Structure 1
Amino acid sequence: MTAPSLVRLLGAVILTAVLLGAGPAAAQPGAPAPMDTVQVDLTETILRALEESPEVDQRRAQKQFATARSDEAQANRFLTDVSINTAHSLAPGLDNVPDGIAGDELYLQPGVTNDWSPRALRPFSRFEIAVQQPLWTWGELSGSIRAARRGVDVEAARVEQKALEVAVRAGETYYGLLLTKALDRLADRTQEVIDRAKREINRLLDEGDEGVSQSDLFQTRLTEEETRRRAVEVEQNRKTARSALRRQLFLSDRVRVQPKADELRPLSFAIHPDSLDHYTQRALQNRPEVRQAEAGVKARRALVDVARSEYYPKVGLRATLSQSVTLPERPNPDNAFIGDSFMGTGTRTGIGVQQNLNFGQTRAQVEQAKAELNAVQYQRTAAEQLVRFEVEEAYRSLLTAQAAVESRDRSTTIAGEWLRTEQVNFDLDLGDTEDLIKAVRADLEARAQYLRAVRQYNGAVLDLLRATGTLADRARSGTLLDAVDDQE
C-alpha cells in the first residue's frame, strides 16, 4: 500500500472517529476509583430501578393515604360518632342546713341554699359518653365509601403509570451503556488501523521509497492525535453512561455497574400477527391511564349520589350517658321530678331526623358534582385516544427501527465482503487504492451505524411494551426477554 493511499485511509478513519464521538456529553474526569462491581442484565436493571425509585415510592405513599381514607370512610358506616367528654370545675356547698336534717330530706327544706363562699367550694367533675349511629342516609355513606375505594384504584393506577416511566427509562439507560461499550471497542479497532498505517509509512521511509515523505508521516501523526481525542470522548461518554445507569439504580458512587451482556444485540421480539389491533387492545386493557380514568368516573358517580342525598332526611340513633360527681358528695335526691345538676347520673336515647332545607345549595352542589363527573368522562375519552395514538406511534417506530436494523445488518455484511474483496485484490496487485479506501470507510461506518440502529430498535421494543402497559409486569414476571411476544 502506498503512502498517499494510507493517508486517505486515515481520513476515512477520522470520519468514523467522528461517528464514534457523537454521543452524550462527556463526564468530568477525576472521579474516585470504584471499590466494587455490580453486574446486571436488562430485567435486573428494570426491577432494581422499580424497587429503588423514589418517584414510584412517592406514588405508593399517595396510594397509602388513599387507602387510609377508604378505611376511614368504611369505619363511618358504624358508630360514626363515639366520644367522651369531661368537664372539671368547683361546686358550691350547702348553707342554712337545719339541724338533724340530712340526705334526701334536704330537698323539702326551702331555706337550704348553695354556699358559693370560697371556703365552701369543692371539686366537681362531669363525664359524658355520646354514641351516634346513622340508620338511613339515602346513599351518603355508601356513596362516600364507593368514592374512597375508587380513589384507591386511581392512586394504584398512578403508581403503575410511574413504574412504566421508570422501567422504560432504566432500560434505555442500560442499552445506552452497552452502546458506548460497543463504540469503544470500535474505536480500538480504528486505532489499530492507524497503527498499521504508521508502521507501513515508517517502513517505506526506512527503505527509501520515493513515494513516501516526511509530510506523509506528519499527516499520519496529526490524524493519530485527532483519533486519540475522539477516543477520549468515547471513553468519557462511556463513563457518563455508566454513571447514568448507577444513578438510575441508586447505587453508591463507590460501586461500578457493569452490564452482563458483552455485546449490544437486538432484543428477541416477534411482532404479534394481529399487529396494531392486538397491541391497541392490550393497551386499553393494561394502561394505567385508562384504569385511572375509569376509576375516576366511578368515584365521581358515587359523589353525585352523595350530593343528591342532601335532598332527603337523614335518620339516626343517638345515645348519651352522663355522670356528675361532687366531692365530698352532696345529697342526691332520688326523685323523678327533682335533681341536682352537681350530682347524679343521666341518660338520653332516641331516634333523630335531620333535614337540610336549603335546597338551592343542594341543587348547586349536585350540579357541581355532575360537572366534575362530565369532566372525568371527557378525560377518560381523551386518555383512550391518547393511548391509541401512543401505541400506534410506538408500533410504527418499532417497524421502522426493525427495518433499520435489518438494513444496517445487510449493509455491514456487504461492506465486510467488499472490504475483504478489495484487500485480496490489493494484495494481488489487482486492486485500486481508492476502492480499498472506500471499502474501509464503508466497513467502519456500517458497523457504527448498525450499533446505533440496534440501540434504537431495543429502545423501540421497550417503548412498545410501555405503550401497551406490560413492560413493568413482564419484568416482574421474568418474561421480559422471551423470544416471542405473548399471543394472548
Structure 2
Amino acid sequence: MKQYIPALLFCFFLLPMITVGQDTVKVSLESFIERGIENSGQIEFEQRKVDLANNQINQAQSQRYLPRFELSTQHGIVPGVISQTNLPEDQYYLDPNLENDWENWAVFTRAEVSAVQPIFAWGALKNAVKAAKSAAVSAQKQFEKEKANVRLRLFELYQSYLLTNEILVLLDEAQNQIDKIERQIEEKQEDGDTEFDESELFKFKIFKSEFDIRAAEVREEAETTQRIWNYVLNADENTVYMPDSNFLDPVAGELREIDYYRSYALANRSEIDAIEAGIDAAEYGMKAQKQKNYPSLYIGLNGSYANTPNRPRQSNPFIINNSNYASGSFGFGIRQNLDFLSIKADIEKGRIQYRQAKYLKDAAVDGIVLGINQAYKETSLSKVKVDKTDEAHRTSKKWLRQEQLDYDFGMGDTKDLIDAMKKELELRVQLKREVFNFNNNIAELYRKSGLPILELSNEN
C-alpha cells in the first residue's frame, strides 16, 4: 500500500492545478451574439463589399478633379555634336553637315507633364458620383441584412445550448427514477413476491436500454453544441463558455397582431432600403449615360522639358532640339464620343436596369409579406403547442405521482408505473422542445419584420 501513497499525493496536488487551469465563462445572449459577429468570417466578407462600394465613390469623385494628371520621364546616354563651321551653338540647325561626336557622351533627361480638367459635362460626372453613393448605401443595407441573418443563427445556437442543458438535467432526474424503480423490482424478485411478474422485468429492461440509447444521443449532441460554441467564440483549450442561464423558458416577447409586423417590416427592413438605394443608383447611372450624347468641355495643360549638356538648345522657335528644349501649352478643348450606337445601347441598358430594380422592390415586398404570414403562423401555432404541452405535462406529473404511490404501497402495476414515467419524461422533453421551437419561431418573425431580436430574452 505504501508504494501507492506518493502517486495518490501527486494526484491530490495535481487535481487543483487542473481545476484552476480550466476557466468557465458565463455568456449572456447579447454578448454571445456580439462576439459571434466579431469572429464571423461571413461578416468580414460582407464588410469588404461595403468597403469596395465606398471605394467606388472615391473613384467617381476623382474623375471630377484632374482625372488625368501624368508625369513621364526618359533617361539615357547620347553623343554630342560637332560642327565644322563657325556657327554659334544655338544655330547649329543651320549646318547641313552637322555630325555626332562619338567621343563626347552625356546624360539625356526629359520630363513631360500633362493634365486635363473637365469644365462642363452636362452633369454626367455629378450623376456618376450620386450613383456611386447610392450603390454604397445599398451595399451598407445589404451588409446590415447579413448581420441580421447571422444574429438569428447565433440566437438559435444559444437556444440550442439551453435546450441540451435542460434535457441533460431531465435525463439525470429520469435516471434516478429508473434506478429507484429497478431497486424496487429487484426487491420484489428477491422477496419472492407472489404478484411479481417476470415479464415486467423484461419490459423494464427494454425500456432502460432504449432510455440509455436516447441519453447517449443527447450527450453527443451536447458535446457537438459545446464544440460549435467554442468555435464561434474562438475559445482556447482552457476556457469553457456556457450560457448565463441554465433554464430554457419562453422568451418575453409578446405576440402582437400581424399588421404590426407587416407595417414595421415595410418601413424598416434593410432589404427594402437596399433596393430603394439601388433604384436611385440605376436612375443616376441612366442619366449619366444619357449625358454622354453631348460634348464635354475641358481645359488641358501640357509641359515638356529636356536637357542634355553636350547638345545645345537651338534659338529658332520652329526648330526644336529633342534632347534640349522647354515647351508648354494651355487651352480649352471639346470632347465628343461619336460612337452613338454604343451610347444608345448603354442608355437602353440603364433603362432596363432601372426598371429591373423597381420590379425587384415589388417582388421583395411580396416576399416579405408572404414570409411574415408564414412566420406568424408558425409562431402562433408553436405558442399553442407550448401551452397545451405544458398542460399535458402537469397532468402526467399527477399520473406519475399516483402510480408511484400505488406501487410503493404494493397496489400498483410495474407496467403502469413505467408508462406513467415514460409519458411524463416524454412530455417534459417535448415541452422543452416546443419552447425551443417557439423561441426560434418568434425570433424568425422578428427577423422578417426587421425588429431587433435582442429585444427578446428568456426572462419573463
**TM-score interval for Structure 1 and Structure 2 normalised by the shorter chain:** 0.7 to 0.9
Q: What is aligned with 1:249?
A: 233
- C-alpha separation between the residues in 2 aligned to 1:331 and 1:434? 117
Q: What is aligned with 2:383?
A: 402
- C-alpha separation between the residues in 1 aligned to 2:406 and 2:426? 21
Q: What is aligned with 1:138?
A: 122
Q: What is aligned with 2:212?
A: 228
Unaligned runs of 5+ in 2: 1-18
Q: 2:350 aligns with which of 363, 369, 388?
A: 369
- C-alpha separation between the residues in 2 aligned to 1:166 and 1:390? 18
Q: What is aligned with 2:457?
A: 481
SS of the residue corresponding to residue 134 of structure 1 reads strand
SS of the residue corresponding to residue 107 of structure 2 reads strand
Q: 1:70 aligns with which of 54, 57, 79?
A: 57
Q: 1:95 aligns with which of 61, 82, 90?
A: 82
Deviations 1:113-151 (A, max 9, x none): 442353355432211111110011122211221121122
Q: What is aligned with 1:118?
A: 102
Alignment of 1:208-219 (within 5 A): 208-212=192-196, 216-217=200-201, 219=203
Q: 2:251 aligns with which of 262, 267, 281?
A: 267
- C-alpha separation between the residues in 1 aligned to 2:98 and 2:450? 78
Which amino acid counterpart does residue 220 of structure 2 have in structure 1? Q
Q: 1:451 aligns with which of 429, 432, 445?
A: 432
| TM-score, length-scaled by structure 2 | 0.87
SS of the residue corresponding to residue 86 of structure 1 reads strand
Q: What is aligned with 1:355?
A: 336
Q: Does the alignment pair 1:298 with 2:280?
A: yes
- C-alpha separation between the residues in 2 aligned to 1:425 and 1:200? 13
Contact 1:93 1:114 in 2 (8 A): no
Q: Which moves more between the two structures, 243-252 or 297-306?
A: 243-252
Q: Which moves more between the two structures, 379-388 or 337-346?
A: 337-346
Q: What is aligned with 2:441?
A: 460
Q: What is aligned with 2:149?
A: 165
- C-alpha separation between the residues in 1 aligned to 2:200 and 2:338? 100
Unaligned runs of 5+ in 1: 1-32
SS of the residue corresponding to residue 340 of structure 1 reads coil
Q: How many residues align?
A: 442
Deviations 1:167-214 (A, max 9, x none): 111111111121112111212222222212221122223332122266
SS of the residue corresponding to residue 342 of structure 1 reads coil
Q: What is aligned with 1:390?
A: 371
Q: What is aligned with 2:394?
A: 413
The 1:214–1:431 alpha-carbon spacing in structure 2 relative to 1, beyond 3 Å, is closer
TM-aligned CA deviation for residue 267 of structure 1 = 0.6
Q: Which moves more between the two structures, 446-455 or 239-248?
A: 239-248
SS of the residue corresponding to residue 330 of structure 1 reads coil
| TM-score, length-scaled by structure 1 | 0.83
Q: Does the alignment pair 1:237 with 2:221?
A: yes
Deviations 1:394-427 (A, max 9, x none): 1221111111111112222222234335555666
Q: What is aligned with 1:38?
A: 25
Tell me how large the CA RMSD over aligned residues is: 2.8
- C-alpha separation between the residues in 1 aligned to 2:248 and 2:390? 13
TM-aligned CA deviation for residue 387 of structure 1 = 1.4
The 1:219–1:435 alpha-carbon spacing in structure 2 relative to 1, beyond 3 Å, is closer
- C-alpha separation between the residues in 2 aligned to 1:252 and 1:61? 27
The 1:437–1:218 alpha-carbon spacing in structure 2 relative to 1, beyond 3 Å, is closer
- C-alpha separation between the residues in 1 aligned to 2:94 and 2:202? 129
Contact 1:92 1:122 in 2 (8 A): yes
- C-alpha separation between the residues in 2 aligned to 1:258 and 1:180? 12
The 1:222–1:82 alpha-carbon spacing in structure 2 relative to 1, beyond 3 Å, is same
Contact 1:157 1:292 in 2 (8 A): yes
Contact 1:94 1:115 in 2 (8 A): yes
- C-alpha separation between the residues in 1 aligned to 2:319 and 2:199? 125
Q: What is aligned with 1:48?
A: 35
SS of the residue corresponding to residue 118 of structure 1 reads strand
The structure, 1 or 2, with the larger RCO (C-alpha pairs under 8 Å, 6+ apart) is 1
- C-alpha separation between the residues in 2 aligned to 1:360 and 1:240? 61
The 1:179–1:328 alpha-carbon spacing in structure 2 relative to 1, beyond 3 Å, is same
The 1:392–1:217 alpha-carbon spacing in structure 2 relative to 1, beyond 3 Å, is closer
SS of the residue corresponding to residue 322 of structure 2 reads coil
TM-aligned CA deviation for residue 252 of structure 1 = 3.8
Q: Which moves more between the two structures, 362-371 or 406-415?
A: 406-415
Contact 1:43 1:480 in 2 (8 A): no
Which amino acid counterpart does residue 304 of structure 1 have in structure 2? M
Q: What is aligned with 1:316?
A: 298
- C-alpha separation between the residues in 2 aligned to 1:279 and 1:402? 17
- C-alpha separation between the residues in 2 aligned to 1:169 and 1:135? 52
